[in-house]
């Protein structure tokens, strides 16, 4: 077989008009070789003739296993077919055969009409955030992106539970100013799984007049916009930043989002801040009634005058002990009401297992405890009566002889 340089030289000489016989004589090669080089469109390449190998007797059984289980590991296949040779050689052959049996999942190009959809997701920043008790935790950030304009909203929330997800969603939707017709989620447990929405999510969507769309498994393209923004957070927002608290994180994030929405997005060749107004014109209006969201519970206040919310305890005015109180909380505050009157108001803590006591409640409890422990006065002698009462009762009012 001639070399690549000889092949190129032969074709150049023949193209310049040198007879093939002369080329063969000058290069010392056969005329048939020169003719073959001129006729070929590709450089010569040595290819070994395929023949049976040690893997050949096992190939049919391997193909049968891959047809039924395309993702079965090569080590498991080797055990099933009783392979005793080199596992590296076996893996190479399985890798060669696997694409022929793996199902194809083509991805369509999606287009998003104005006002139609917003993609929702949770992003977990790769940095622990300091909390009130001195600990630090990885906390979720709720991200909602208007699919048409790519306008980005986000906020860190205390947990991924349904109550906090809906509270965060409502806050970000209010930042959009209008309601997207569809809110696209994956199978987030706080929103719903396997086609069933979590408690409270249906009423939330109904109040907004929007539709919650739960994606099927293995469908990342339908939520690719928000997924790419999650990566954008990690490469453009996080580097070089430190955070003192969740509130500090949200303050820095809000400032950065203004710049992020003013950048030019390559895929749409426009800035989100310039497209959001057109997006809003096709969205639904905000609901005319206030949404009843957040943590809500009606409990009887115990002797310890504390109520529990999301694993932390908050003090309540001890005068309400033994009575039914209403506990409500949002992302910022925890409030307790007795017959509509607020009897406790605390900042919500993000750390778990904390006890939050209002000094006024503790002092009131101390006063009530002191009053309860004081001895009661002894009852007076109510049995002594005037004897004249008995005389009048029996009609003995005259003088006795």
pLDDT digits 0-9 by tens, 107-163: 556 678 999 999 999 999 999 999 999 999 999 999 999 999 999 999 999 999 999
Mean pLDDT, residues 84-93 taken together? 93
Residue 401 has pLDDT above 50, yes or no: no
Between CA 388 and CA 243 the distance in angstroms is 88
| pLDDT of amino acid 102 | 84
Residues 6+ apart with CB under 8 A from 270: 264
Mean pLDDT, residues 220-239 taken together? 87
Measured at the alpha carbon of residue 289, what is the angle toward residues 286 and 293, in degrees to the nearest 5? 90
What is residue 284's DSSP assignment? Answer: B
The model carries a pTM of: 0.69
Residue 334 · residue 314 · CB < 8 Å: yes
Kindly indicate the confidence band of residue 105, based on its pLDDT and cuts at 50, 70 and 90.
low
Computed from CA positions of residues 136, 294, 253, 265, in that sequence, does the dihedral angle turn out positive or negative?
A: positive
Residue 356 has pLDDT above 60, yes or no: yes
List, as one string, the DSSP characters of 162-188.
HHHHHHHHHHHHHHHSSB-SEEEE-S-
Residue 49 has pLDDT above 60, yes or no: yes
Residue 243 · residue 156 · CB < 8 Å: no
Residues 6+ apart with CB under 8 A from 249: 125, 129, 139, 156, 243
pLDDT digits 0-9 by tens, 267-283: 889 999 999 999 999 99
Between CA 253 and CA 148 the distance in angstroms is 22
């Amino acid at each position: 077989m001639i070399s690549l340089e000889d092949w190129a030289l032969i074709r150049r000489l023949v193209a310049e008009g040198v007879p093939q016989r002369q080329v063969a004589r000058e290069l010392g090669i056969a005329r048939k070789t020169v003719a073959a080089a001129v006729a070929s469109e590709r450089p010569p390449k040595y290819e070994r003739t395929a023949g049976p190998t040690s893997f050949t007797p096992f190939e049919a059984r391997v193909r049968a296993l891959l047809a039924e289980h395309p993702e079965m590991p090569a080590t498991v296949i080797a055990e099933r077919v009783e392979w005793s040779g080199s596992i590296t050689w076996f893996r190479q052959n399985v890798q060669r055969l696997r694409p022929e049996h793996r199902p194809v999942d083509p991805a369509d190009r999606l287009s998003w009409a104005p006002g139609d959809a917003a993609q929702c997701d949770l992003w977990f920043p790769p940095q622990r955030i300091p909390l009130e008790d001195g600990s630090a935790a990885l906390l979720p950030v709720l991200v909602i992106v208007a699919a048409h304009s790519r306008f980005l909203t986000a906020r860190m929330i205390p947990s991924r539970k349904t109550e906090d997800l809906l509270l965060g969603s409502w806050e970000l939707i209010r930042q959009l100013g209008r309601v997207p017709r569809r809110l696209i989620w994956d199978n987030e447990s706080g929103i719903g799984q396997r086609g069933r929405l979590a408690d409270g999510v249906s009423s939330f969507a109904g109040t907004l007049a929007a539709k919650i769309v739960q994606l099927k498994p293995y469908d990342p393209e339908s939520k690719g916009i928000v997924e790419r923004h999650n990566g954008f957070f990690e490469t453009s927002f996080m580097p070089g930043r430190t955070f003192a608290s969740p509130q500090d994180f949200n303050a820095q994030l809000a400032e950065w989002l203004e710049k992020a929405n003013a950048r030019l997005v390559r895929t749409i060749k426009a800035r989100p801040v310039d497209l959001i107004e057109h997006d809003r014109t096709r969205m639904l209006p905000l609901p005319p009634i206030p949404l009843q969201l957040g943590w809500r519970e009606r409990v009887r206040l115990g002797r310890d005058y504390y109520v529990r919310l999301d694993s932390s305890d908050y003090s309540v005015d001890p005068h309400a002990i033994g009575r039914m109180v209403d506990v409500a909380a949002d992302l910022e505050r925890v409030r307790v009401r007795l017959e509509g009157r607020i009897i406790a108001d605390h900042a919500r803590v993000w750390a778990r297992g904390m006890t939050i006591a209002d000094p006024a409640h503790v002092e009131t409890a101390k006063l009530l405890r002191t009053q309860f422990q004081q001895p009661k006065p002894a009852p007076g002698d109510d049995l002594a009566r005037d004897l004249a009462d008995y005389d009048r009762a029996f009609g003995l009012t005259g003088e006795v002889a």
